[in-house]
A and B are shown apart, each in its own frame.
Chain A
Amino acid sequence: MSTIPRSVPPAPAVGGALLAGGPQRPYRPAPRRDSVSSWRWRHRAAYGACWAAGLSLCLIAVAILGYMAVEGVQYLSLEMLVTRPEPSLDQAQTGGILDPILGTLILTVMAILIATPLGAVAAIWIVEYGRPRWLARTIESGIEVVAGTPDIVLAIFGLAIFQLPLFAPLSFTADGGGVFGRSFFAASAMLSLIAIPMVFSATREGLLQVPAHVREASWALGKTRICTIRSVLLPVVRRHIATGSTLGMGRIVGDTAIVVVLLGGSLQITPVGDVPVLDVLKGSGSTLTTYVYNASPAGEGNAPQKAYAAAFVLLVLVLLLNAVATSIGKRSSPLEAHS
């Protein structure tokens, strides 16, 4: 197997090539790289399959977005955004999407107002205190379970809860005593459940990234743990809480099942009672998602143009929220700036 090497090249003069300014560079042919064409056919097929998967992914994304953009912009008009929808058989009189937009906004704000404190507090307690250990682990698993539950199950559960007489003031009560159980209150309560896991994991990640010496320095100065959390840690993880909230908002805006079940079926916002703000919250309405669902051939209405327009607004909203979340997440934290 061994070969006697060919003639050894002559040794350069004393002093070496460095001092002489370097020898003339001989022509060097290009190196033989590891090229795909030299692989076995199986590997080449796999290489091709990977490229196909990647490219088709791009294509699908572009196709969906492009199609929605084209169709949506076509049917969307400023007038639509500010007109209330009307239930009507005549396509031309079905109005705009103002109420669905308002409905989405109300629900999102309410739900995130519930979810953010709950998620952040849970994360803070688990990371900073976390005793007894079994309880902390159970709560963590519990939040994972909630994150994995289908939203339709949460919706049905919400219905079961809010139809109890205990929660009658939160929705409409029929004359026979039956609690309707569907209102903005009910929907936002259940929607907050799907946002809590996102706020929780984002906050927990942020807290775990804070190095131990920051906390220890604060404790060494005599501050209690809770004071440390409030004055030292919270400003640092604010960014993470914001990211988690924004991601949660993206999920809330896009959720349909919970809203379909828990918001009643009315197209317009229908207040219940006389109290100024509470009547709206106790009443029913629609959101962009239910509007799209109902306006599509699958629902009652049959207004594909309106469905496209509303879906376009919905898509823009969701993508905007995700982009904001990513940009908040990318900004450097105060800790990194100083380290």
Chain B
Amino acid sequence: MFRRLREPWTDRQAAWRLGAVSCLVLLVILLMVVFVAVKAWPTLSNNGGVGWLGPGEDVDKQMSAMLTTSRHPDSSVYHLDAWPLVYGTILTTIVAVGFGLVFSVLAAIFIVEFAPEWLRRLVVPAVRLLAAIPSVVYGLVGILVLVPFVNEHLISAERRKEVEYVVQLTGTGVLVACLVLTVMVTPIMIAIVVDALRSIPTAWTEGATALGANRWEAMWTVSVRAARPAIVAAAVLAGARAVGEAVMISMVSGSRGFSPNLMDGLTYLFEPFRTVAASMIEQVDGLNAPAISSSVYAMALLLLFSSLVLSIGGYVAKLPMRRQGMRV
């Protein structure tokens, strides 16, 4: 067979062979969705479809109960109320993408417009560097630097006593997780927005300047406005990254299946929690238990679905911009 491959290929043969290899990727995706759905089926069926996303009993207790089960457990073991995990994911994603977007747009404007040349040559590599750092390093810095700082300086003894009967405040929690996640998603957004701002036709910025706009106004009212599709794309990309971040969150979030309560006031910032992705990576050892396995696959399905939702959200957000005649 290899001899046949060595003869000069005709174009039609080449198209077929190369095309087949290219289709492997499609195959992988299809398999992925199918396998994950199949393996998740027990949890989905036993919880009534999406019932497992709702609130209920302590999800940590439920999952540890699942660990010690036989090969073929009865259906009550599959019961799962994973709302705290979903809440944690939504919370961190919205905070990280929200703050990150504002920060990124300002930093991008700085890079494109206001920074003197020597400073620009420092900031751009800094952004590329931050984008390249692996998430485990972010987690390490978080857990070895920020967490002790928060624990010693920001959490007072009274606060600790207040919530003692429910959770232990150890410095890990909402604040550190959201902070590190924001720093993680910002570089990607900055890169995209800077590219978009640089590609605005100079005719527009010059026209704005000729009408009497100062540098900030010309940038904000014309360039940033024209770059809105790119800003939406950046937010979608950052959202996907934030939703799927497992390692860093599992290191700094305190890892409790617990929904931080807004009613607690500032203590809210220091309460531990966990996200869906972090739960997946933490249950790696228990994947032999069928109930755990099926729960984890159900979470994987949820994450796949959320990526899809984010893409659709981005498309919907760009629709009104399309009407203005911008190329999206």
Interface secondary structure of A, over-half rule: helix
A131 and B15 contacting across the interface, CB-CB below 8 Å: yes
List B residues 252-288 near A (Cβ within 8 Å).
Answer: 252, 255, 277, 280-281, 284-285, 287-288
B11 and A152 contacting across the interface, CB-CB below 8 Å: no
* CA distance in complex: A39, B220 (Å): 14
On chain B, which size bracket covers the interface?
Answer: 35 or more
Residue A319 CB within 8 A of the other chain: yes
**Which stretch, B28-36, B52-60, B316-324, touches the partner chain A?**
B28-36
* CA distance in complex: A150, B89 (Å): 13
B123 and A159 contacting across the interface, CB-CB below 8 Å: no
**What per-residue 1/0 map shows which CB atoms of A254-266 lie under 8 Å from chain B?**
1111001100010
Chain B CB count within 10 A is highest, among A154, A196, A257, for A257
A61 and B130 contacting across the interface, CB-CB below 8 Å: yes
B303 and A68 contacting across the interface, CB-CB below 8 Å: no
B22 and A139 contacting across the interface, CB-CB below 8 Å: yes
**What per-residue 1/0 map shows which CB atoms of A279-309 lie under 8 Å from chain B?**
0000000000100110011100000100110
A149 and B107 contacting across the interface, CB-CB below 8 Å: no
Residue A146 CB within 8 A of the other chain: yes
B134 and A289 contacting across the interface, CB-CB below 8 Å: yes
List B residues 170-184 near A (Cβ within 8 Å).
Answer: 183
A315 and B26 contacting across the interface, CB-CB below 8 Å: no
Interface secondary structure of B, over-half rule: helix
B23 and A139 contacting across the interface, CB-CB below 8 Å: yes
A152 and B244 contacting across the interface, CB-CB below 8 Å: yes
A50 touching B140 in the complex, CB below 8 Å, given contacts A39-B214, A118-B25: no
A256 touching B26 in the complex, CB below 8 Å, given contacts A61-B126, A156-B280, A157-B32: no
* CA distance in complex: A289, B140 (Å): 11
A196 and B25 contacting across the interface, CB-CB below 8 Å: yes
B143 and A296 contacting across the interface, CB-CB below 8 Å: yes
Residue A109 CB within 8 A of the other chain: no
Chain B residues lying within 8 Å of A151, measured Cβ to Cβ, are 244, 246
A-B contact pairs, 22 of them (CB 8 A): A54-B114, A61-B127, A61-B130, A64-B141, A117-B21, A118-B21, A126-B22, A138-B26, A146-B28, A150-B245, A156-B36, A157-B31, A157-B300, A160-B35, A193-B28, A253-B134, A254-B137, A292-B136, A296-B143, A296-B144, A315-B133, A318-B133
Which A residues contact B (CB, under 8 angstroms)?
34, 39, 43, 46-47, 49-54, 57-58, 60-62, 64-65, 67-68, 117-118, 121-122, 124-126, 129, 131, 135, 138-139, 142-143, 145-146, 148-154, 156-157, 159-161, 178, 193, 196, 224-227, 229, 250, 253-257, 260-261, 265, 289, 292-293, 296-298, 304, 307-308, 311, 314-315, 318-319, 322, 326
Closest 9 CB pairs of A and B: A150-B244, A254-B134, A54-B110, A226-B14, A61-B126, A53-B106, A125-B18, A298-B251, A53-B107
